Amino acid sequence: MIGISQVLIALLGVVAGLVFGAIPGMTATMAVAVFLPLTYAYDLNTALYLLLGLYVGGISGGLIPAILINIPGTPSSITTTFDGYPMAKRGEGERALKIGIVSSFIGGIISLICLWLFTPMLSAAALKFSAVEKFLIILFALTVIAALSKGQMLRGVFAGFFGVLVSLAGMFSVNNGYRLVPSFLESKMQDGFQLLPVLIGLFAIAQIFEEAEEGMRFKIEKVKDDEMDGSKTHFSFKDFKGQGINVIRSALIGTFMGVLPGVGGSAASILSYAQAKNFSKHPELLGTGVTEGLVASETSNNGLTGGALIPLLSLGIPGDSTTAVLISAFMLQGVQVGPLFITQNPVTWNTILIALLVCNVLMFVCMFYPIKWISKIIYIPGQRLYPVIIMICLVGAYATKNGRMFDVWTLLVFGVVGYIFGKIKIPASCFLIGFILGKDLENYFIQAISAQKGSLMVFFTRPIGWVIWLMIFASIAYAIYDNNKSKKQTN
Amino acid sequence: MINVVYSSEHWIMPTIVIGILVILLAAIIITEGLARKKKGEAFFKKAGKFFIDKADFVKLFGTLVLFIAYIALVDVIGFTVTSIVFVFLFNLLYTGFSKKAVIMSVVISVVASLTISVLFGIVFNITLPSGMLSLTFTDLGITFY
């Protein structure tokens, strides 16, 4: 299950992930998308080491530029800049980096434990689900999107349902009828748009268009040596004294936010930073370069990694865009994710846990000791990498269904769509979740009502169904409450 | 009560979803319009600027045009040669025409394209777009795309 080649491939994943995470404008999702073609060549177990390595590395790398140059490398390290950068300004750059790395590691491990404990429980519960509950749980996933699209509730739901609509384009498996497809494309779109090119388009190509519009400026000022390590205060593990509760709270917030579909890492770290401030004995110091804020931010964004895998492996619902790529990796290998996943694939399940542990350890080893050299990643000129990324994305899209140019055009079209989404403030991650779940939503809905001769009452007669309805209404109520609150704040 | 008829079953869900989208769109327009009205602005706001200030249109539309040409040509000419040409052109577009930048662009495009082509196409045996400049060595069983 684990050999030297798996560790090496995980190492490759972690380092490549770090590079993508550390370069502003490039994300963990992009890293996973770019390396996906490589996984076509490996078996599932080895591929998992690579993908999880990229994921962990990609999330962790973001702290380097956040601390050293005040630019978050990934959206989830926004709050790392609040306290990390002031520390670097004081000459404690290396100390801040090391605190961040240790926090990331602890966050990753705590979320791994949550993954290990809660996924089997959730799967067991989901096994009792009939088509009715499966339909409702997807509906719930779509309303949770709404609840967490801060101040953008309606746009979030709109994006989610728009994703559902786009996923329905193609042939319906029950009666082989085509819908939402122009007739000249019918032969190419039997099973609609492929997930992979849609995803890479939305999250990698769209990003490249945005960077191009901004002129591909990657001029990064050199970090002075005395900012890195000029102060007399050096890192020691004593820095974590008194941070125990903060660490656990932040890791759990990160994990929980990871579980909720469509919620990005930035929401997790912002929430946990806010909580650290609420509970702090000296809240006025947060933002001036204190350990507390840095720990809260970095523990929570690595907490996402395990959290986002929980709904993926137990319900088949991805927690974020990076784990959505994992779905396609599983599908390529013919493995179905859902409630039966653990019982049917116990070996793969163990591999995921071990791989995630190995990747977190590798991340720590690769970053903690050679941090002075690793931090030079931020000087890699992005404008030199993007052309190569475009080429690899083309390879990945082309190979999705064993070589079709149609999938490459899909890649470009969704790149443009993602770019336009960014302009008109439609959250692409919500669209993606809707797109992934759309076909299941339809199948379960048709199954449920066909059994009852079309009566919609079937959705209200089962007790587990009531519980999910309750959750749906609770999330809508929270969404409206939170939406009004954050609108007032902006006015 | 929904009438499930086999022949039109495939339109049930799309119709519902389109209905929901229309309602949501109306809700978005009305709530955002009312919010503006409350602030003393017009119900409909003038369309804001689509592009950012000082947008780099050459790089933006250059990327789009190059991308379209790249896809259109890659399965006519073949993966390796097309990629060398277009990775080079993307590099020029993003980093300019100074002598140093051009040399660097040549190196990157040749090395990266050949590496990907050999690694994926030959070592991992993944299908890449092939065209008139792709070479197949039947006795070796390999294709250089």
- B27-66 pLDDT, tens digit each: 988 988 888 888 877 777 766 788 888 889 999 999 999 9
Same domain, B5 and B39: yes
The whole-number pLDDT of residue A376 equals: 86
Domain tally, chain B: 2
Residue B17: which domain range? 1-48
A405 CB neighbours in chain B (<8 A) are 71, 74-75, 129
User: ipTM value of the model?
Assistant: 0.93
Specify whether B125 is located in the same domain as B94.
yes
Using a CB–CB cutoff of 8 Å, tell me whether A446 touches chain B: yes
Distance from CA of B145 to the nearest CA of A (A): 12
Residue A264's pLDDT is what? 66
Claim to verify: residue B123 and residue B78 sit in the same structural domain: yes
Would you state the pLDDT for residue A182? 85
- Residue A179 DSSP label: E
Out of A144-153, A286-295, A354-363, B23-32, give the one with best mean pLDDT. A354-363
Confidence of residue A453 (pLDDT cuts 50, 70, 90): confident
The alpha carbon of residue A239 is apart from the nearest alpha carbon of chain B, in Å, by: 43
Q: Does B22 touch chain A (CB under 8 A)?
A: no
Q: pLDDT digit string (tens) for A288-317?
A: 889 999 999 999 989 988 999 999 999 888
- Predicted pLDDT at A489: 64
For residues A99-112, give the mean pLDDT.
95
Count of CB pairs separated by less than 8 Å, A with B: 172
**Does B43 lie in the same domain as B62?**
no
Q: Are residues B69 and B4 in the same domain?
A: no
Chain B contacts in chain A segment 159-188 (CB below 8 A): 161-162, 164-165, 168, 171-172, 174-175, 177-180
Q: What are the pLDDT digits (tens) for A365-405?
A: 999 988 888 888 888 888 899 999 999 999 989 988 888 89
Q: Which of A335, A336, A340, A304 is nearest to A322 (CA)?
A: A304
Interface check A158 vs B, CB under 8 A: yes
A148 vs B137: CA distance, rounded Å: 55
Please tell me which residue of chain A has the smallest CA distance to B36: A491
User: Of A80-89, A339-348, B34-43, which range is least confident?
Assistant: B34-43
In A169-243, which ranges are continuous DSSP H helix? 195-200, 206-213, 225-229
Tell whether B71 and B8 lie within a shared domain: no
pLDDT of A450 above 70: yes
B85 and B138 share a domain?
A: yes
Region of poorest pLDDT, from A350-364, B29-43, B92-106: B29-43
Residues B67 and B130 in one domain: yes
Which residues on neighbouring strands pair with residue A179, listed in sequence order?
A170
Q: Which of A226-230, B65-69, B124-128 has the lowest mean pLDDT?
A: A226-230
Pair A63, A80: CB distance under 8 Å: yes
What are the chain A neighbours of B75 within 8 Å (beta carbons)?
Answer: 405
Q: What is the pLDDT of residue A30?
A: 83
B30 shares its domain with B61? no
Same domain, B73 and B119: yes
Claim to verify: residue B127 and residue B99 sit in the same structural domain = yes
Same domain (yes/no): B29, B74 = no
The per-residue pLDDT for range A237-283, each reduced to its tens digit, is 888 888 899 999 999 999 998 888 877 667 888 889 989 988 888 88
